[in-house]
Amino acid sequence: MVTCDSLKELIAQEAIEFVDLKSVDLIGRWRHITIPASRFTPHLVENGVAFDGSNFGYASVEGSDMVLLPDLDTATIDYYSDEKVLSIISDIYLAGGKGPYHGDPRGVIRRAEEYLVSEGIAEAAMMSPEFEFYVFSQAEYHTGSVESYYALTPLNEHRDYSFYHISPPEDQLFALRNEICRRLEKRGIPVKYHHHEVGPLGQLEIELGFDKPLKMADTTLIVKNIVRNVSAEAGLSATFMPKPIFGENGNGMHVHQYLASGGKSLFEDKGALSELGLCYVGGILSHGRSLFGLTNPSTNSYCRLVPGYEAPVSLAFGEGNRSAAIRIPGYAAPAERRIELRTIDATCNPYFAYAAMLMAGIDGIKRNLNATELGFGPYSHDLYHLSAKELRKIAQAPADLGEALHALEDDHDYLIAGGVFEEEQITHWIEAKRKEESQLRRRPHPYEFSLYYDL
């Protein structure tokens, strides 16, 4: 068991001078506050560190006093160049001893895991995201009242062939990925493998093994942070934006997932997906359009989710079918028989997104929403090239963020089951995301000048 005393011993052994308390804001950005190691005491562990919740997007200024309470089980040594820092992820509490803040994303995903167990469905959910991102030599962007631009400088020139698993010397970022993975392993995060992705202009991928949703949501933010920090140390710029380059492959964050009991997947049935697995898939696809409001919550998400391109937009499933929203990997070992949701991207708050996927799957199991019986598949053909008539038979992803938020507004009862999410919390999320969308909609886009300036 990790205690304040055991961590103080670690601080002394490693000559650590600072303790970093990390937490997540509403939309999914890592935030942190750093204290001298001498201030890391039982009193601080018990009472936490105060902060302004309005700056995290959680509350209005008149009721924004909150407290970060360190979760000691997450403590690990973090590396910043030559500096070692004790890093601890924190839970969010209300000030004045009023208990946990119900809107804390870590609290939401904890309740989702507890709900799964309390319903007697499984002992655990297991998840494994794929991290796709671009690395550029330089990235500049600016928005003002009379100018707006972005300029990306790739390491490679454009090539007319896939860079998927390309080897050096074309793979100029091999050493960078090795260093990123070394940092992850030092943090106790096992790496499955890494490689260059399809995009020739610096698109990379790192895959991990499986873990429970809360641990994997924590890990998701750690991975993104390490990728960006190691890239910056190398004089480069990394982004997880779903579609940073027009005409090139976008970045997804496909999430492999299954339910388990006794250390084995409950989705396994003689080499095929079990009835429980089919109902889990049916739940995710039945609530698919509303899930986009949490799994793909940026305007840029829908630049990637375009019919006929590399990202799936058809709410269907198929074995080994990468054109469907859900793929059933054909190579999975029976103990890890799983599904892969291919629509999600890394602009999500992973605590909310992973909890929402799990809640949709649980709803499918409880309501016996068998994906095959509901007509979601399995599909064995390429769904990217369906005719308009064929497309009308399959539910499609929302066309933009506004459409996704409308779907979430209309369909979220499955999220508030068991008190996992709160109605007020979903309303607050939708309001925050609609404000983001309106900010973009109110500004002229550079491409509009090409279309309309001389009319």
Please give the positions annotated as active site.
52, 130, 132, 197, 205, 254, 322, 340, 342
Cα dist. 454→185, 346, 441, 447, 450 in Å?
A: 55, 38, 21, 13, 8
Give ∠ CA 198-199-203 in degrees, rounded to 5: 100
> Could you tell me if 68 and 315 are in contact, meaning their C-beta atoms sit under 8 angstroms apart?
no
Report the 3 state secondary structure along the chain: CCCHHHHHHHHHHCCCCEEEEEEECCCCCEEEEEEEHHHCCHHHHHHCEEEEHHHHCCCCHHHCEEEEEECHHHCEEEEECCEEEEEEEEEEEECCCCCECCCCHHHHHHHHHHHHHHCCCCCEEEEEEEEEEEEECEEEEEECCCCEEEEEECCCCCCCCCCCCCCCCCCCCHHHHHHHHHHHHHCCCCEEEEEECCCCCCEEEEEECCECHHHHHHHHHHHHHHHHHHHHHCCCEEECCCCCCCCCCCCCCCEEEEEEECCEECCEECCEECHHHHHHHHHHHHCHHHHHHHHCCCCCHHHHCCCCCCCCCEEEEEECCCCEEEEECCCCCHHHCCEEECCCCCCCCHHHHHHHHHHHHHHHHHCCCCCCCCCCCCCCCCHHHCCHHHHCCCCECCCCHHHHHHHHHHCCHHHHHHHCCCHHHHHHHHHHHHHHHHHHHCCCCHHHHHHHCCC
> Could you tell me if 87 and 75 are in contact, meaning their C-beta atoms sit under 8 angstroms apart?
yes
Backbone angles phi, psi at 414, to 5 degrees: -65, -25
Q: Among residues 227, 184, 229, 230, which one has the least CA distance to residue 209? A: 184
DSSP-derived pairing of the beta strands 76-80 and 124-136: unpaired
The CA distance from 21 to 48, in Å, is 10
Burial of 309: CB neighbours in 10 Å, binned 0-12, 13-18, 19+: middle
